[in-house]
Amino acid sequence: MNAQYDVVVVGGRVAGASTAMLLARAGAKVALVERSAYGSDTVSTHGLMRAGTMQLSRWGLLDKLTGTPPIRSTTFHYSDREPEQVSIRPGGGVDALYAPRRQLLDRILVDAAADAGAEIRHGVAVTALLRDENGRVTGVRLQDRSELTAGITIGADGIRSTVASATGAPVVRRGRSCSAVLYRYYAGVQSTGYEWAYAPGGAAGLLPTTDGATCVFVATTPTRMRSLRRDGAEQAFATVLADMAPSLTDLLIPATPVDRMHGWAGAAGFFRQAWGPGWALVGDAGYYKDPITTHGMTDALRDAELLSDALTGPEVALTKYQATRDELSIALFEATESVASYTWSLDEIRELLRKVSSAMKAEVTQFVL
């Protein structure tokens, strides 16, 4: 069965579902295609920063994060001094941050897109893009050989985006650093806020998430992680956690693992060309940076709104969309690159984290308010 839409969004996670929702709320006829099952989990950093939390609040979705505790403090652990706790101050209409599991957050956004009128198709992969005689993208072909035609096709399908690959979207800026990460969920962790820990050569952290679970992660260079994993993922996880944060290790003594170990081998960050004839990219498909600064979901929400505004404004302003995306991203991208190098001293990491905080504040000021 073939169908005609104003917009086809490929990828139904945070970036794609948000974009579909906003465009459907603006009156566009939208189809959202996602290869995974409805409500399924995915690799994630979980943490929403202030800008993303504010957007969910403005969209009327924040109160749907049921079972996800509010985060009202962040504690920084360094191997050369006592922990430093920072309170999350109310601002921009929100008084806390959140770190939802993805099977909850993605489902909330998909449901909101469907409520706005978008047609949702889960468990379906895109196999090719459609083009007209001039080479303009005009839609997608699905694995069942049906076709969805549209005025614009949006790739929101991650760092290995089918849309980006098929359009040949060039990488206009590429990073060099990347983190290898292991993480697992625990029940019974006595922590109510974000906990970040840093020591030479790596980092670790705790994020209280949905239904009483806490995501515990460790991160280091891919080279070191590969070496440690020769003795198994469990041993690698325990070694990095003990090296980075003995105090966090103590928090896990009464805790119980509730899930298997998850891993991310690492990938260098990039900015891709964000649009072309009949297509656009959003989320990790267009801009990706290392997860160590826990900002990917917030970026995805931000760029979904930037893109939908560009497509629904008085003029289709995709050039401005890319320029604004890059302007709001570059400072945090560069700071993240430095953090993910793991070549810093403890004095240097503290300065880098101040730069990360400054970039986040600038994002809130320039974009959301």
* Residue at token pair 């806490």: 214
Distance CA 7, CA 154 (A): 7
pLDDT at 246 (0 to 100):
85
Give mean pLDDT in consecutive 10-residue pieces for the chain, a chain of 369 residues. Answer: 89 98 98 97 94 96 97 94 92 93 97 98 97 97 95 97 98 97 96 92 96 96 96 95 88 92 96 97 98 96 96 83 96 97 97 93 68
pLDDT at 1 (0 to 100):
55
SS3 158: coil
pLDDT at 92 (0 to 100):
84
Distance CA 248, CA 261 (A): 17
Per-residue tokens: 287:
């801009």
As a whole number of Å, the end-to-end CA separation of the chain is 43
Distance CA 109, CA 61 (A): 8
β partners of residue 220: 180, 202
SS3 298: helix
Distance CA 125, CA 153 (A): 14
Q: Which of 19, 289, 273, 34 has its CA nearest to residue 154?
A: 19
**Dihedral sign (CA 103, 109, 115, 118):** negative
β partners of residue 337: none
CB atoms within 10 A of CB 171: 11
Q: pTM for this structure?
A: 0.96
pLDDT at 244 (0 to 100):
85
Q: C-alpha distances in angstroms, 276 versus 224, 287, 301?
A: 40, 15, 21
3-state SS record for 229-279: HHHCHHHHHHHHHHHHCHHHHHHCCCCEECCCCEEECCCCCEEECCEECCE
Give the β-pairing of 256-257 and 213-220: unpaired
SS3 160: coil
Q: Which of 269, 293, 268 has its CA nearest to residue 355?
A: 293
Distance CA 10, CA 121 (A): 10
pLDDT at 2 (0 to 100):
75
Q: C-alpha distances in angstroms, 248 versus 271, 299, 307, 364?
A: 34, 28, 40, 30
Q: Which of 294, 298, 368, 297 has its CA nearest to residue 335?
A: 294
pLDDT at 364 (0 to 100):
81
